[in-house]
Amino acid sequence: MRKLLAALTCLVAAYYGLAARGLDVAASAEPETKKPVVEMGESVKVYDPNVGEKLDEEWYINDHCLIRGPKGRWHLFGITGTMPIRPTRERLFAHATAKTLLQQPWDKQPHALTYAPEAPWRERHLWAPHVVEHDGTYYMFYCAGDEDNTKYKIHLATSTDCHAWTRHPASPVVVDGFDARDVFVTRWGDKWIMYYTATTKPEGGNHCVAYVTSDDLIH
């Protein structure tokens, strides 16, 4: 059952210097005992979506996530496409890997997922992937949209190696509005909680963070 957060204590988006046409990261400075403040160090570009693409195209990366996959390698997934940015035509997920978070540059991989407009998926676009691991399986949740903004779909794809992804037949695992998207999944006790952005009513209203719970990441 869909629920709304009554109070949002601390929702921090740690994008580490996300740039529209590339991805930068910055390491925090060494902690000082007299000044317990986190400071950002030098920003360095670790991922360039233009690598390997046509010279007359300009690519971007947006709404990315990171997860440590098999053999300790880090994996980056995010929306990618060519400029100008047209959200309703975002249909690809970028994929890059690295041995360490500060590797320069990360290794660009083939696209992790391409939208599936055909039945039974009927995806309108691909937005904001979020990946978690449980018992050796990686679960990617993402917004697949819909013609009806009050019934936006959140789909699920799974993988055992973070390279080959298979859409789960239980998709959509959530249907909500208005433009329900930007999933974050975490474990709490014996439950999984999925937070996502929505509105107080599917037809509109105030913007909010909604959540649903699951015992198995699927139902």
pLDDT per residue over 207-218, tens digit each?
Answer: 999 999 999 999
Q: Which tens digits make up the pLDDT trace of 35-90?
A: 677 888 888 899 999 999 999 999 999 999 999 999 999 999 999 999 999 999 99
Decide: 143 and 130 in contact? Cβ < 8 Å. Answer: no
Cβ 60 vs Cβ 69: under 8 Å? no
Looking at beta carbons, which pairs linking 197-202 to residues 24 or more positions away fall under 8 Å?
198/2, 200/4, 202/150, 202/151, 202/176, 202/177, 202/178
pTM of the model: 0.85
Residue 19 has pLDDT above 70, yes or no: no
Supply φ then ψ for residue 44, to 5 degrees: -135, 140
Has residue 28 got a pLDDT over 70?
A: no
Model confidence at 30: pLDDT above 70: no
Q: How many other β-carbons are positioned within 10 Å of the β-carbon of residue 166?
A: 12
Q: What is the pLDDT of residue 8?
A: 45
Task: Fill in the amino acid letter for 155.
Answer: H
- pLDDT score, position 12: 35
Domains and CATH numbers, the chain: 16-25+42-214 (2.115.10.20)
